[in-house]
Amino acid sequence: MALRGGLATEKGCVGVEGVRLVEEALGGGCRVEAVLFSESGERHRERLAPLIGRREMAFPVLKTTDRLFEGIADTEHPQGVAALVEPRKVEVADLLATPEGTCSPLLAVLAGVQDPGNVGTILRTAAAFGATGAATSATAQGGTASPFSPKALRASAGAALHLPVLAGMSLTILLTQLKVEGIHTLASCVQDETKGGSASLSPWEVDWCQPLALLVGNEGAGLPEDIVRGADARVHIPMARGVESLNASAAAAVLFYEGYRQREKQKQ
C-alpha cells in the first residue's frame, strides 16, 4: 500500500491516510480494500470500530509497526491509520442525476486546476455548498491535478470520496454531453469578458437553480479560450478595486456560496 505519491494501484485503488479521511472512506460510498493500523494508530480503532464492523463487504484489517507505517506514509507525523480504497465509479450519467433534496444538478468542472491543494479545496467547497457532482479534465487539455492524490484528498477533507467525481475526463466530450442533456455551462472568468456581444454576468445575475455546471480554470491562465467561448454563459466576480482577483479557492467559495444562497431561497 503505497500512500506516498498517491499513485493509484493497477486496480485503481488509492491510499487514504488519517482518522478523518479513513472515516469518510468507510462511511462513504467507496469500496474499501483494506484498513491498516500502526501500533500507535490502534488508539483510533475504537472510533472507527462501528464503521469497520458494519461494512457488508469484508476486508482485511491489517496491523504494522510504527516504523513501517512511517515508511509508507505521505504525511510527516502520520496518525497511524490508513485505508486502501477504490473511489466511486462515476459515469457521466451520475452527474446528470438530481439527488434527493436538490432542485437540479449543480456541477463543478475543473479544467486545468494545477495545484492539488486547490483541487481538493474547490471540491470541499463545492460539496459544502450543495454541488451534486464534479469532473476534472484529462491531461491532454491542460489537465487538472488528480483529486485522489494524498494532498488533494486531505484538502478536500474527504469530499473527493463522497461527492461523485469523474476524474480525467475529456472536456470536449463532457461539455457536449452536458449540452445535450440540457445542463447550462457557466465559465468562471477572472475579468468581465464580453464575447460575441454578451457580457459576463455577476454571480447574482446567474440563475443557479437551473441545471448548471460551473467551469473553473487554471490558477494563472484561467479557462482555455475555446471553452470560454463555447460556454452558455460567463460569470466573473466584480470588485470595488478591479485590479486584483481572488485566489482560485476563494473565488470558487464565492461562486458556490451564491449558488447555495439562491437554492436555499428557492426552497423557502
Q: How many CB atoms lie within 10 A of CB 221?
A: 12
The interface region with a copy of itself, picked from 2-10, 68-76, 128-136, 167-175 by CB under 8 A, is 128-136
Burial class (CB in 10 A: 0-12, 13-18, 19+), 40: middle
CA angle 248, 141, 11 (to 5 degrees): 95
Shortest distance in whole angstroms from residue 22 CB to a copy of itself: 15
Q: How far apart are CA 12 and CA 33, in angstroms?
A: 11
Spell out, one character per residue from 131 to 170, where the chain touches a copy of itself: x when CB under 8 A holds, - when not.
Answer: --------------------------x-x-----------
Residue at 148: amino acid letter: F
Shortest distance in whole angstroms from residue 93 CB to a copy of itself: 22
Number of H helices and E strands in the chain, helices first, is 10, 10
| 260 contributes a contact to a copy of itself by CB under 8 A | yes
**Relative orientation angle of helices 248-267 and 116-128, to the nearest 10 degrees:** 10
CA angle 54, 59, 65 (to 5 degrees): 110
Interface pick for a copy of itself out of 64, 79, 118, 121 (rule CB under 8 A): 121
Question: How big is the chain by its Cα radius of gyration, in Å?
Answer: 20
| 267 contributes a contact to a copy of itself by CB under 8 A | no
Which CB sits closer to a copy of itself, 128 or 233?
128
| 59 contributes a contact to a copy of itself by CB under 8 A | no
| 200 contributes a contact to a copy of itself by CB under 8 A | no
The interface region with a copy of itself, picked from 41-49, 135-143, 182-190, 246-254 by CB under 8 A, is 246-254
Chain positions contacting a copy of itself, by CB under 8 A = 121, 124-125, 127-130, 157, 159, 202-204, 237-241, 243-244, 246-247, 249-251, 253-254, 257-258, 260-261, 264-265
